[in-house]
Amino acid sequence: MDLGSSIRTIRILIFDLNDNIPYLIKPLIFLWKIFHKFKYNLGKKNYFSKKEIKFDLSPSRIYRVNPKDIIYYIDINTFKWKKSNKILKGNWDHQKKLIEQMAIFKLFKDKLILRKNYYQIKEYKLFINKFSQGSQIWSLKDEKSWINKLYDIENIYRDIKNSVTVKNREINILEAKLKELNIPEKDRSIAISIGRKGEFILMNGELIFSLARLLDIKEVSITIKIRHKKWINFKKELKYFSRSGTLYQQTSHPDLQDYPFKYGAQRFNIIKENLTIKKGTLLDIGSNLGFFCRKFEELGFNCTAVEANWLNAYFMKKLRDAENKKFEIITESIFNYKKPIQLKYDVVLALFIFHHFLKRKNVYNNLKKLLKRLKVKELYFGVHNPKEFRNRKVYKNYNLEEFVNFILENSCLTQSKMLLKLDNERVIYKLTI
């Protein structure tokens, strides 16, 4: 018997003991997690020692991002680095500041949004002082030339803001107009660095970035100049995590788009199209890498991810922080979450997770108790293909109709609607009160 088979046998034994002697489960699960972490770390170390992992770090590669995802900037005039460096160690990313503190952003926000006079704006005076010190701004040497350029930029902003014919082409028009004004390329081409957590830090292109943010442009082109060594280490660890060939869920971070994935946005899109609730609280049971919580948070939902698998939860937290998301992560069994109080949520996602609770009697009974604790307006239920349990010892194996009825009978929900049948004959239902 190989190591993998032995581990699976031990895991089944733990579940058998849980069915028959439930009070033993906590210490057994604790010991299992210790063993699993040891096995994972040992395997990772061995993997890295035998395999050299390289990434495309070309500074000319183009990525597409939402400007709202870039919330930091760094002053490259005080940032010491060699342009040949693509990976940097150290605390350089601690020098980052919030975009709202960036002088050119504050200048245009006060002028274009708050409609202040230039001479009332603190940052305008700071820029003027640079001319008196012999510095140039956008290759301009004097205040008069610069103020004329500001007025030209104001006109560009208003033309794009008021146009109804340039939808989804705003950034291309903005780039072209700034080029016509002879704005230097470094001020109209966005370049960023990536900090240790995966956060985007603006380095070049302060002018076009500020205008794009104020115009609420949804997507801009960027290049990545440097990455923190700790971020590269995380990318390597994610590569080991996905060593079987794919991640279960798609990652959203632009610098992780080379990782193959099994499931993308199809399920999210079908749920989004059928939501009658546009904002509120959302609970995702069995969140894996947190794809749905990241997407629904962008829609305005206050999300909670429940993921009992410590390794999935570890990477979910890393990905959440890299994208500056705020959703809560619960790393325990859904059966223990806030037990015994009622779970009140506007939307609950149970996508292809409940069938795992049919395998053993004890867990099946826990599912019943969970359903009775749920107070939810809409539940999106992913139902397995019963053939998946063929030739396997399971406590229950409902067909589609039986499983849906089981949920309705044991919860506050009363109605069901089939939304999508997948190629593997799995189905997504919408259940409502």
> What pLDDT is attached to residue 20?
53
- Give the pair of three-digit tokens for residue 152: 């030209």
d(CA 273, CA 15): 39
Under 8 Å CB-to-CB from 262, ≥6 apart: which residues? 246, 247, 248, 249
Under 8 Å CB-to-CB from 31, ≥6 apart: which residues? none
The model carries a pTM of: 0.89
Under 8 Å CB-to-CB from 88, ≥6 apart: which residues? 81, 226, 227, 228, 229
pLDDT in tens, 395-431: 999 999 999 999 999 999 999 999 999 988 999 999 9
* Res. 166: pLDDT tops 50: yes
Q: Mean of the pLDDT values across residues 325-330?
A: 97
Q: Give residue 349's identity as a one-letter amino acid code.
A: L
pLDDT band for position 170 (cuts 50, 70, 90): confident
The percent of residues above 90 in pLDDT, for the chain, comes to 72
Question: Rounded to the nearest 5 degrees, what angle is found at the Cα of 181, between the Cα atoms of 179 and 184?
Answer: 60
pLDDT in tens, 145-160: 999 999 999 999 999 9
Question: Rounded to the nearest 5 degrees, what angle is found at the Cα of 43, between the Cα atoms of 38 and 47?
Answer: 155
- The answer to whether the beta carbons of residues 283 and 348 sit under 8 Å apart is yes
Find the length of the chain: 433
DSSP 422: -
Q: Give residue 367's identity as a one-letter amino acid code.
A: L
Query: Which stretch of 43-47, 67-71, 277-281, 348-352 has the lowest confidence by average pLDDT?
Result: 43-47
pLDDT in tens, 244-275: 889 999 999 999 999 999 999 999 999 999 99
* Res. 366: pLDDT tops 80: yes
**DSSP H helix total and E strand total for the chain:** 14, 16
